Amino acid sequence: MNIELLFWVYHSINRFMATDDGELFKKFVELFLFAIVTYMIASEYGRTKESHLKYLLIGFGALAIDKLIMTLVYSFIVFGEVQTLMFNPFLPVLDLFLEIFALVLLTNAFIFPIFADKIGKLRKKIGREIIVVIIVVLAIEVFWYVVISLNPTAAFRTELSYLILELIKILILFGPIYYILCNYNKLGKYGPHIIIAFAVYMIAPIANVINVVFYGGLSNDLRVFANPFPFIAVLLFTRVIYLKLVDKATIKRELADTKEKYIHEQEVSKLKDEFVSTVSHELRTPLTSMGLYLSLLKNHKFGKLNSKQSGAVDIIKKESKRLANLINDVLSLSKLEAKKTKLRIEKVDLKKLIDNNLYYNYAEQKGIVINNKIPKNFHVKIDSEKFKQVFINLFSNATKYAKSKIHISASKHKDHWLFCVEDDGPGVPKEKIKKLFDKFYRVGDYLTKEQQGTGLGLSIVKNL
């Protein structure tokens, strides 16, 4: 019983939709929906002035105007007691022309992202399609006027002219589906939704073509079957536009939040730089004085030191030097992270630059053999001072952990050159390698390590 009732309601609604009253209701609902979508797009376009919104606005605006005109015409027919025959010479062709014209604009509006870098090509495409539609519609209107003059009761839906316009509608609706499938990535997640909306819209003209070809346009069942699909397509288009605008609003909000965070981080970074600069300066001044007085003590300017006192002075001098190096590293890293360092690129003989290094003496004192394998006349374009800093940090690191030898090499490749400092030390566990360039990170327990260091050397190397 319930199934029979549902079928009865379904057929009753479809029979109603096939009448003039039903056409008026359908046109009014479509007008309402298209007006809402047009308003949504117009509001967003007024704020952003984006080109793709302009094309969507024109497309949906044209459909809204089409539905407005047809709503007015059917209002005269239904409420003004005007006979449909009065509008018969132009109403059927006008209705289809306005719909096809609007569909040309709408389909091209949805494929705008595909032609985003070829706007001229898209405009020419729209122009050609509109000209073809106008020429075909004018010819059909003349032909239909002749037919209606000879037979005032003729039904446009049974004529070849109606079949041609429905086929044109199918071709226009298939266009965006083809373009989207060929350029699927350019429309992102909206592509499938747009394809479905146009495919649903296409069902109605396909049903109408079948009706004309196989039933002479007289099958009420096919006409009733085709009625809901344009309405469903309108709802799908409305959903796509709503999702686009909501996503865009979300992205705008996220961008605003990101911008706010970026400004905050810039302020924090500026405060950090000022703090590092001030503290470093304040630390350097007493360290310089300490170094001076330690040298005076060591040179017996304040009296002779015994062995214990001399050893204590040596320890203080060594630790103050380590502290000075730490301050220099912190300052260097701070400047690099703030992008305040400038490069002075010049052509340099890398072998000569590396050979002239005081650090070799310290490594040789530890009994480490240094093997410089860099070829002679190995010229590269670098900032020599910055590269020295890179090399000193790498070499110093290798000297700490090498057992007996350090290899230095360089080689040129197609689009880059490679510089290596290798030692025969214990190496680094694989799971620790990704952290090697982090600030203050040192492999193992810092408090129990035999090798001293600040943990900033490799971080400076990476930033340089």
In order, the DSSP letters of 13-52 are HHHHHTSHHHHHHHHHHHHHHHHHHHHHHHHHHHHH--HH
* pLDDT at position 394: 78
Among candidate residues 207, 226, 245, the one where a domain is terminated: 226
The reported pLDDT for the residue numbered 446 is: 41
Q: What is the pLDDT of residue 190?
A: 80
Query: Of 185, 200, 226, at which residue does a domain stop?
Result: 226
- Whole-angstrom distance, CA of residue 402 vs CA of residue 400: 6
* pLDDT < 70 positions in the chain: 1-2, 10-11, 14, 17-18, 81-87, 249, 269, 272-273, 276-277, 279-284, 322, 325-326, 329-341, 356-359, 362, 433-464
Q: Does 356 share its domain with 222?
A: no
Which pLDDT score is estimated for 338? 61
The pLDDT value recorded for residue 460 is 65
User: Is residue 238 assigned to a domain?
Assistant: no
CA distances from 292 to 245, 285, 299, 352 (A): 69, 11, 11, 34
> What pLDDT, on a 0 to 100 scale, did the predictor assign at position 14?
66
pLDDT (0 to 100) of residue 447: 36
Do β-strands 379-382 and 405-412 pair in parallel, antiparallel, or remain unpaired?
unpaired
Domain hosting 70: range is: 2-226
Residue 315 included in any domain: no
Q: Are 334 and 276 in contact, with CB atoms under 8 Å apart? A: yes
User: Residue 440: which CATH number?
Assistant: 3.30.565.10
Write down the H helix ranges in 299-447: 307-337, 350-355, 359-365, 384-401, 430-433
432 in Cβ contact with 445 (< 8 Å): no
Q: Are residues 209 and 353 in the same domain?
A: no
- ∠ CA 13-19-21 to the nearest 5 degrees? 90
First-last CA distance in the chain:
81
Residues ≥6 apart with Cβ < 8 Å to 329: 454, 456, 457, 460
Tell whether 420 is covered by a domain.
yes
Report yes or no: 380 and 350 within 8 Å, Cβ to Cβ: yes
Sheet arrangement for strand 417-423: 369-372, 405-412, 417-423
- Residue 189 domain-assigned (yes or no): yes
pLDDT score for 202? 93
The tokens describing 456, both together, are 């900033």
The answer to the question of residue 354 being in a domain is yes
Whether residues 347 and 219 share a domain: the answer is no
Q: How many domains does the chain have?
A: 2
Contacts of 158 by beta carbon, 8 Å cutoff, 6+ apart: 212, 216, 217, 218
Helix axes 91-110, 160-182, angle to 10 degrees: 10
> Residue 452 has what pLDDT?
54
Which domain-ending residue is among 181, 203, 226?
Answer: 226
Q: Are 176 and 192 in contact (CB under 8 A)?
A: no
322 near 452, Cβ under 8 Å? yes
